[in-house]
Amino acid sequence: MNTILVIALILAMAATLYALIRGIVAFLQTTKEELNLPEGVVRPSSLKQNKMMMNRILFQAAAIIIVAILLMAKGHG
């Protein structure tokens, strides 16, 4: 059981890193034209940034939950 949780933790951490890097890349690819769009216009790069950062938060939450489960299992064992 612990082995499965450790593998799941590594996958969650890798997914977190991937989402973080994708969000940063999306941020860096924002063009001047997008920045000069009128207020209220949804920018494609902003949507991608938001999606990647929400994914990062979800993957981080999953990693934290897995760590908590591992710690609880360690305390009972």
For 10-46, the three-class secondary structure string (H helix, E strand, C coil) is HHHHHHHHHHHHHHHHHHHCCCHHHHCCCCCCCCHHH
Record the pTM.
0.82
Cα separation, 42 vs 58, in Å, equals 23
User: Is 50 found in the same domain as 35?
Assistant: no
Asked if 29 and 53 sit in the same domain, the reply is: no
The answer on pLDDT for 46 being more than 80 is: yes
Which residue range(s) make up the domain with 46? 42-76
Average pLDDT over residues 34-54: 84
pLDDT over 80 at 73, yes or no: yes
Residues 34 and 53 in one domain: no
Number of domains composing the chain: 2
Residues 24 and 50 in one domain: no
Q: Is residue 34 domain-shared with residue 4, that is, in the same domain?
A: yes
**Same domain membership, residue 49 and residue 28:** no
| CA 52 – CA 15 distance, rounded (Å) | 11
Instruction: Let me know whether 2 and 12 are in one domain.
Output: yes
Distance CA 35, CA 39 (A): 9
